[in-house]
Structure 1
Amino acid sequence: MAFAGGAQAAIVVDGKLDEPEWQQARVYTDFKVTEPYRLEAQAAGLGTRARLLSTPEGIAVAFELEQSPAFKRVKPRLERDQNRAADRVTVAIDFDGDGRNAYSFGVDLSGSVRDGVLANENLLNLDWDTDWSSAVSENEQGWQAELLIPWTVAPMRGSDGASRKIAVYFGRSLGSNGETLAYPAVAPSRGRYVSGFEPVQIAQYRKSLLYVWPYLTANHDLIGGRTRYDAGLDLFWKPSPTFQLSATVNPDFGQVESDDLVINFDAVETFYSDRRPFFTENQAIFDLTTPDSGRLIHTRRIGGDADDGSGASDIDAALKLNGSLGALGYGVLAASEHGPAGRDYYAARLQYPLRPGLNLGWLGSVVERPYLDRQAQVQALDLSWKPNAELIVNAQALGSFIEQAGMRRDGLGAWLRINWTPNQRWRYELEATHFGDRLDFNDLGFQRRASLNELELTGVYLHRVRRAESTLASTRWSAELQARSNDRGDRLPTYLLLGGNLNYRSGDLVYLEASLISAGWDDLISRGNGLWRRSGRYDAEAGYVSRRYGDWAWSASGSLLPRGLGARPSRELVFGANWYPSEQFNASFEFGPDWGRDWLLWEGGRDFGRYARRGDFASLGLSWFPARGHELRLKSEWVAVRGSDGQRYRLSPQGRLIASGEARPDFDVNNFGLQLRYRYQLGPQSELFLAYSRGGIRRSQREGVDTGGLLDEALSLRDADQFLAKVRYRF
């Protein structure tokens, strides 16, 4: 195993590698093209060198980047965690060196930063923001970057020795053509990513810290004419690398970050990620997922709508512990909401490496809901086994144990996933899932459905085009078969999903997707009021994503989506553009219509409506960075949908939808939201926010309204109209 040098002197993070200590660093030069996954050596004029050095303040990383005039420098100023086209370097570090979790740190040529947590091999959560340093500098030959990752950013197991084993990844992204150069040559699109990082032994230093963040907010309601003031406190204490505590009293989760607008008519709720600092900081140990995008811990539940329907719950206090005892990693989370309709949440997590490549975990959670006289408990065991570089096996067994009003309801589930990557061209995945019809982990988790037996088989083929004169660089083709039934034995529709990506040497991307869907029972659409025998159907999508062309980047897609009683699909078009007239200002636009003559909606019990549909959406984002530390952002979204020519249908006991001959009135749903936000960075993890937010949603039964009329009306919607000022400062 390689050893990275250590340095006693501090590194000045200024983007200039002028300290003599950098000569002691471990050097990495063998970068390969991994996006698209071609594994070609770095091209002439793109020499890339990374350095790794352990210092008393943290792990220091430097990049020396050659960039000839043949590769245009792309350096727009961006908000934190934006994934726009830009020249960027990234280092990802697995601090325990066991392939379970890693932390990613990226800096653009403009100085914009991006950080996130990598879990489950390749799942990147960008909601995590932490305190680290970076700087860049330019010259005629290229540019340089320095990053300093403090020892305190993450819990670390087994931290008593003079050295520790970590695993690292270095990446370089080109804004001009979208390519990524990486060492080692691993990519998130492959089966193995985090566990394929390069192991290295580094000198280890102990560091402790104690931070306190008081906050103050003033929220003025422009509709009611009232102003609400609030104050609270966040605390973070890390006395050693093996223990850290986060606590919050009367936390403020005001509308600093706005969610995307969604009009959801489906039986499955919309998933929203959590951007609240307390719940994103060092949350990786609780990031336990299930197939079908489920999560056993979904922190958006905490502070969600109260059980009495009175609106969002206030949180009195919350506490989080992370640490390790020898090889055993642990985490504890607790939160309590205010009032008689509030809830209490408790969760605990353990992880233990049985041997290299074999890890066992346990998670338990309890939610007390006194207003509903309900207690919900979830228990889960998970296993991760990586016997060699080609094979990854993950498995989980879980159960829910719920008592409500003296009634007991227990449910069980389990799943197994096997990833096999025999070579650089082929990857295969087998996934088997069983969820009992009483399994319910929604009190603190996110569960799309219960009562599921599913077998998935996936094959992915990657073709690298060797001819340098070809405009095409690589292609990626995939096929996935999903066979499903519910826990009562009803056969659900079988899916055959086909996909293809065409990556061009210019950086442009064309993608193709199609699904062939067999007939089968739909057991969700009626919300428990009977099964519907759905006919066979298909969907398809084709899209184009461009590289940067001057100040512009474009995207377009067209889709066929089955939304109705028959197989005839709706049509949807989406157009998008990003505009970069200067490094300090950028704009994004996206809009598109959808339309179809066959749209089926559940309207209660066994009643359904069948309509002609027209949907419209548009979004506009403007970002301006007038000076370092200052950001001004406008985010505006509009979503509208209309149903016309409606007919009532009723679900028969035999699972058929039968027309009643009764007409249904035309209706429309109109949703608009706007936020203008100013952010000033007062210091590390210290900010001043000023945000104006306005929006509303309206459902109407009427005829004759058109797209222009809905847009005019949307601008007048005013269910919420408020101004928020917030200051949060770290001591």
Structure 2
Amino acid sequence: MNNRSALRRTQLALALMSLAGSAHAAIAVDGKLDEPEWAQARRYTDFKTTQPWRLTAPEAGLGTQARLLSTPEGIAVAFVLEQAPGVQRIKPRLERDQVRNADRVIFNIDFDGDGRTAYAFTVSLSGSVQDGVLTNENQFSTDWDTDWSSAVSESEAGWQVEMLIPWSVAPMRGADTANRNVAVYFGRVVGSTGERQAFPAVAQDRGGRFVSDFDALEIPQYRSALLHVWPYATALHDFIDDRTRYKAGVDVFWKPSPNFQLSGTINPDFGQIEADDLVINFDAVETFFSDKRPFFTENQGIFDLRTPDSGRLIHTRRIGAGNDINAALKLNGGLGTLGYGLLAASEDGDDGRDFYAARLQLPLGEALNIGWLGTDTERAAIDRRAQVQAVDLRWKPSNTLIVSAQALASAIGQQGVDTRDSGGWVRTFWTPTDRWSFEVEATHFGAQLNFNDLGYQRRPSLNELEVTADFNQRIAAEQSRLRNIRWVAEVQARSNDSGDRLPTWLLLTNLYNFRSGNQLTLFAAPRSAGWDDRISRGNGLYRVSGRYDAEAEFTSARYGDWTFAAGLGLAPVGLSATPSRTLSLSASWYPSETFNAEFELAPEWSDDWLIWHEGRDFGRYARRLDYAGVNLGWFPAAKHELRLKSQWLAIRARDGRAYRLQPAGDMQATGAALPNFDINELGLQLRYRYLLGPQSDLFLAYSRGGAGEHEREGGIGTDELLEEALRLRDSDQFLAKVRYRF
């Protein structure tokens, strides 16, 4: 009797540990689930197909099981994956965060369980990894890299993955309790078809909800302290002026508890190891570039506050854009349920700027979250100070409804002149069924609203109402070549803050998912006549005629060693509704697991191209644009990566005629001819990376490129233009950079 009682007590203890998802013994991350602790793990088996959006069980031979344990070392996650012998295994070696077609698994976790920020961890069958941050429900960024471990093992029946996510990877509120309420998502992508399975059955591309729909659970939590120091040094040799420059600095990351962490950097080198894509921009809207600098990507999610038109109230590429940075400091943490973040950075030089930002987030019950952001940018050289305030909220009254809103204001003072204005937006997202979703969004930006000093703002002076309907049609017939069709319709009605009616848009999208894994996207966007109030940069309104955009894009599944994509786009860019024609072709080649290549071509032709020169003066041209890109990746051995990234972009403009914008809003030809011109840009980077250890790297990079602009009486051929680009040499340098974590 006593023995039976003891046995029952032991069984009960094991059952309680399983329900809690906890384990106290260390997990050896080797891709083999042979530790007895995995038997105690919480298990997830109810995976559904979410891409395409079918919500059916996975096909036979492609079953997926996920497991989760809370351990003192961190969150341990495992996947057990069936992969029948007839299903091709796609496992190219990839750089960290490189996006390619591959068999992979995904684990997302919202450590606070409130739907604000989640952290994503992806492991492919080859062992390559990706990590990133999900903010604003479904906005994903891979700029963030952190320290976590993973391993993969493979057998004839399938493969297994183990991950260990340390408690130190993210700031957490309420870290003093024994248990923590989190929310999780598990996903699997079958590389041969692109099909995605998930638990819970939610998808990132289904409108405005994703993180809020993760599966909630309570797990034991453990405290951990962390101190990392990264000294680093660079040597840059410029072959043009035959000069070598040296620089050294240090990053510090200190996390004494889960609810407080500090990041600091002194005399940083923010040389861009990741080369930006080439862009020639004649528009009135600034091109956005993301930030890959480690200090600014580490736990930046709390500062990621966006506007509906893809604006950002904090855009860290502003910091250090013109001057070196002397020092920067960042704090993240929590006080009870209140989350906070502080950011400060100071640039060098008399014309350097000082940047400050503060952020608060507070949940009020399970349904409501409110937040506040304040920024201050000071530029003493021109006596300018720019302050921005924003209050935001998210309300989730039910599982089918979510409401987001933001109110913001700016105050700019420069040389005794003060400019103030405000704005705001509200968005409602409703999913009444698993096939239908609806979104209604209203935006107002005042004419003088300005958050560009530290943020990224596409435009002020905007009143906009958007209504979107999204329907997913599942094809049940087994004999059909289609699996799913997605229909999206969106209406955008807009005016500026002066009441001038801007063009009204109707955006129509069809997405066809085939059983083979191929995808076809059709897009059409007719728009009404209306005023363009940005093209003249504040020198008058231009009356635009009604016109349309259209695009068709085909993306293939994996065929042998290749994947392909092709697209055709039509878009008016001139005075008439005659569209430009863009043909885009790309192919990815995987001749082995250690080598991959990507090739891109995208020529564009336009008989009518209108560009602003100055004031009310414009030019109207015929245009040819050429783009070509070649990217190569080779992984000769573990910890070694070699990459070539090369891009060529050129524009040729001919038959130019001068136009002047009239007070009534029409364009009138002046009769003057304008010279032909061409713009030529080339960028090339050959980069070697050696992984010294966790978050420690040695980089050797050779970069060359340049830009040229010419006025020519005669034309120039594509071959000649490319040969000329290969001789461009505005930049020609070799960089050695080492960063090591202690």
Using structure 1 for the length normalisation, give the TM-score: 0.98
Residue 50 (structure 2) pairs with residue 40 (structure 1): no
Residue 724 (structure 2) pairs with residue 707 (structure 1): no
Asked if the contact 2:641/2:688 (under 8 Å) is kept, the reply is: yes
Give the percent of matched residue pairs that are identical in Structure 1 and Structure 2. Answer: 67
Residue 338 (structure 2) pairs with residue 328 (structure 1): yes
Distance 2:198 2:615 in 1: 55
Asked if the contact 2:630/2:645 (under 8 Å) is kept, the reply is: yes
Partner letter of residue 78 of structure 2?
A
Which secondary structure does the structure 2 equivalent of 1:386 belong to? strand
Distance 2:620 2:328 in 1: 47
Which secondary structure does the structure 1 equivalent of 2:722 belong to? helix
The offset of 1:551, in angstroms, is 0.1
Q: How does 1:229-378 map to 2 (within 5 A)?
A: 229-305=246-322, 313-378=323-388
Q: How does 1:574-589 map to 2 (within 5 A)?
A: 574-589=584-599
The offset of 1:71, in angstroms, is 1.3
1:415 pairs, out of 412, 425, 428, with: 425
Asked if the contact 2:80/2:159 (under 8 Å) is kept, the reply is: yes
2:9 corresponds to: none
Asked if the contact 1:303/1:337 (under 8 Å) is kept, the reply is: yes
Residue 59 (structure 2) pairs with residue 49 (structure 1): no
Asked if the contact 1:4/1:52 (under 8 Å) is kept, the reply is: no
Which deviates more from structure 2 when the two are superposed, residues 166-175 or residues 248-257? 248-257
1:310 corresponds to: none
1:202 corresponds to: 219
Which secondary structure does the structure 1 equivalent of 2:592 belong to? coil
Q: How does 1:115-514 map to 2 (within 5 A)?
A: 115-190=131-206, 191-305=208-322, 313-514=323-524
2:4 corresponds to: none
The offset of 1:657, in angstroms, is 0.4
2:129 pairs, out of 110, 113, 121, with: 113
Residue 22 (structure 2) pairs with residue 6 (structure 1): yes
Asked if the contact 2:316/2:454 (under 8 Å) is kept, the reply is: yes
2:741 corresponds to: 730
The offset of 1:4, in angstroms, is 3.5
The offset of 1:642, in angstroms, is 0.8
Which secondary structure does the structure 2 equivalent of 1:294 belong to? coil
Question: What stretches of structure 1 of length at least 5 have no aligned partner?
Answer: 306-312
1:593 corresponds to: 603
Which secondary structure does the structure 2 equivalent of 1:387 belong to? strand
Which secondary structure does the structure 1 equivalent of 2:169 belong to? coil
Partner letter of residue 245 of structure 1?
L
The offset of 1:304, in angstroms, is 0.8
Q: How many residues align?
A: 724
Distance 1:358 1:505 in 2: 41
Residue 106 (structure 2) pairs with residue 90 (structure 1): yes
> After the TM superposition, which parts of structure 1 deviate over 3 Å for at least 4 consecutive aligned residues?
1-4
Q: How does 1:507-526 map to 2 (within 5 A)?
A: 507-526=517-536
Asked if the contact 1:573/1:594 (under 8 Å) is kept, the reply is: yes
The offset of 1:32, in angstroms, is 0.4
Distance 1:164 1:597 in 2: 61
The offset of 1:255, in angstroms, is 3.1
Which deviations, in whole Å up to 9, do the C-alpha atoms of 1:111-157 show, x marking residues without a partner?
Answer: 00011001111111111000000000001100000000000000011
Which secondary structure does the structure 1 equivalent of 2:295 belong to? helix
The offset of 1:468, in angstroms, is 1.8
Asked if the contact 1:530/1:653 (under 8 Å) is kept, the reply is: yes
Distance 1:416 1:167 in 2: 25
The offset of 1:355, in angstroms, is 1.3
Which deviates more from structure 2 when the two are superposed, residues 2-11 or residues 558-567? 2-11
Question: What stretches of structure 2 of length at least 5 have no aligned partner?
Answer: 1-15
Which deviations, in whole Å up to 9, do the C-alpha atoms of 1:702-728 show, x marking residues without a partner?
Answer: 122111111000001000000000000
Distance 2:524 2:718 in 1: 29
Distance 1:563 1:254 in 2: 36
Which deviations, in whole Å up to 9, do the C-alpha atoms of 1:674-727 show, x marking residues without a partner?
Answer: 000000000000000000000001111012211111100000100000000000
Distance 2:86 2:80 in 1: 18
Distance 2:209 2:604 in 1: 38
Using structure 2 for the length normalisation, give the TM-score: 0.97
Distance 1:668 1:100 in 2: 47
1:308 corresponds to: none
Which deviations, in whole Å up to 9, do the C-alpha atoms of 1:475-512 show, x marking residues without a partner?
Answer: 00111110100000111111111111000011100000
Asked if the contact 1:393/1:419 (under 8 Å) is kept, the reply is: yes
Partner letter of residue 726 of structure 2?
L
Asked if the contact 1:33/1:180 (under 8 Å) is kept, the reply is: yes
Partner letter of residue 319 of structure 2?
I
Partner letter of residue 622 of structure 2?
A
Which deviations, in whole Å up to 9, do the C-alpha atoms of 1:64-111 show, x marking residues without a partner?
Answer: 111002211000001111221100011000001111110000100000
Distance 1:89 1:498 in 2: 32
